[in-house]
Amino acid sequence: MMVRQNFLIAVLFGMILSGLIYLNNIQCSCNQQITEQGFNCSQQITEQGIIKPKWKQKIFGLRSTPGLLYNQPSVLVGRTDVASVSPWSAPIIWEGNFDSTLIDSIYKQQNLTIATTVFALGKYTRFVKDFLESAEQHYFVGFRVHYYLFTDQPESVPEVKMGENRSLTVQKVPSLNRWQDISMSRMEKLENLIENELVSEADYIFCLDIDTKFYGRWGAETLGRLVGVIHPWLFNVPRNQFTYERRPESKAYIPAEEGDYYYAGAAFGGSLEDVHHLTKTCREQLKIDAANSIEAVWQEESHLNKYFLLNKPSKLLSPEYMWRDVNKKAAQIKIVRFTNVPKNYAEVRPNP
């Protein structure tokens, strides 16, 4: 009897020891993966086994450079003519509420790549040169930037000299007969680009309109998990005057008594994972609307505003970052950074 009990105890002890060794090996393997690849082991083990990380993930603190000199910040002095924070505590970026020297020092240590997408179909190829040349002067200067230009006329894309660590990829897409269809197709193409090409290639992405031009700094102060730009025409009007989609039949519907800000469809961005979720959701909602024979009043911009209402941006850019005319300023606009280019829409668009 005693021999049998000792045998059972030995077997039980062996099982426990084997389990501990197995768990230790798993932990070591996980730690090695975290050290070498920078991702969480629990994210990699599935029913099918070990898989590669889906998103390029880096963990950074906001580390300042030793000995860096910059103006002392104050909790008492600042802009009093504009709001600098949203009701959900997201910063609203205006001239005068960030220090460019400090913020560049923090983010340049992180060796970031910013993917930037633009679409130039039909006559909109005429805007490519000014966009790229002005971007090279003002847009994430000193950072690695990869532009992705979608066009139906690759042969019409002009040569623009790129700075160090700056590159341009041109992707051909089919021509479309309605500007509304061009607008609505962007979300699907952005979703696919992130999934198929950018997953391990970039840290952030911004999606911008091509019929625009940079006039001032657009830099690391704009980086965030999910970034929206407050529309220049509607930043100072009550929400019931926002041009949201007001028909309940549309997935973009927002009632007159709801809404935070009205966001421009001409500029949005953030981390790859967050922008992928945004584009995927908007693409799905656009598809549902199409199946129900309804088109939101401002196509993808209407769906973008619905998304931002339910998924609050982590950072908001003031209308400085998407102004309407460089020659016409509101009192609150101390600097124009990025604007629409004046044009005859009837002449450049393929349809009214």
Binding residue positions: 124, 209-211, 231, 243, 301
Binding positions for UDP-N-acetyl-alpha-D-galactosamine: 124, 209-211
* Known catalytic residue at 273: no
Binding positions for Mn(2+): 209, 211
Complete edge-to-edge strand list for the sheet that includes strand 144-151: 92-93, 315-317, 226-230, 263-271, 204-208, 113-120, 144-151, 166-172
Counts of helices then strands in the chain (DSSP H, E): 7, 12
Task: Give the separation between CA 217 and CA 99, rounded to whole angstroms.
Answer: 12
CB 189 within 8 A of CB 305: no
Sign of the alpha-carbon torsion through 236, 237, 238, 242: negative
Q: Which of the following is catalytic: 95, 136, 295, 301?
A: 301
- Among 289, 276, 307, residue whose Cα is nearest residue 180: 289
- Among 140, 182, 123, residue whose Cα is nearest residue 341: 123
CB 278 within 8 A of CB 253: no
Apex 145 CA angle, 316 and 302, nearest 5: 40
- Rounded to the nearest 10 degrees, what angle do helices 179-193 and 299-310 cross at? 50
Residues with catalytic annotation?
A: 301
